[in-house]
Structure 1
Amino acid sequence: MPYVMKHAPSGTILSFAQRNGYSLAYYGIRLWEDLPDQTQMAEALAEAGIAPGDAGGELGEWEPLSLTEHEAKMANVKLRNDPKRVVAYRDGAFIAK
């Protein structure tokens, strides 16, 4: 099962510009195959350009969340490869805006 980072207060799933296996840029959620540790989570925040002091920049505000493969795909579909969109996980469902 893939894991993502969820901002506990808002439910926002960490997403940012990344490169796929073919080196093509895309905007999507950050996935791990195994439960990420604190170091991996801090590195992901830095990759996303979120620094301590920024809104959502404190590592303690984030928690790992296990998703099914289908849920992970649906979260990326809701982002539409658009960095202006945000996807959140609340009450067992994904919400995009």
Structure 2
Amino acid sequence: MPYAYRHAATGTLLAAWQTNGYKLTYYGIVTWENVPSAAAAAEALAQAGISPEDTTAGRLEEWETLELTEHEAKLANVKLRNDPARIVFYRDGALGASTAPNV
């Protein structure tokens, strides 16, 4: 099962521009096969454009590991619609999506 990073306060799943196995670029949630190390998580936050100075989401301790099913991970990417102006969140055991604030 894939692991994702979830912002504890908002439920937002960490998403960034990535490249798939076919060398195609897409915007999707960042996932790992195993629980990510602190270094891997910090690197993913940086890849998503979240800096340590960001008072809202920049501190690593503000994020938590979330285990998703394969279906949930795929559905989260579908909800993002390959659009960085959207966010996907996991709250109360369900996925949801909306347009990101301040975009």
TM-score tier, shorter chain, comes to over 0.9
What is the RMSD of the two structures over their aligned residues, measured on CA atoms?
0.6
Between the aligned partners of 1:37 and 1:53, the Cα distance in structure 2 is: 21
Percent sequence identity is 62
Give the structure 1 partner of residue 47 of structure 2: 47
Deviation at 1:28, TM superposition (A): 0.2
Classify the secondary structure of the residue corresponding to 1:76: helix
Match of 1:19 in 2: 19
SS in 2 for 1:86: strand
Higher strand share: 2
Runs of 4+ in 1 over 4 A off after TM superposition: none
Correspondence 1:8 to 2:8 = yes
How many residues are treated as equivalent by the alignment? 97
SS at match of 1:16: strand
Shift of 1:22: 1.3
Query: Which residue does the alignment assign to 2:67?
Result: 66
| Mapped partners of 1:48, 1:85: distance in 2 | 13
Whole-Å Cα distance in 2 between the matches of residues 14 and 47 of structure 1? Answer: 10
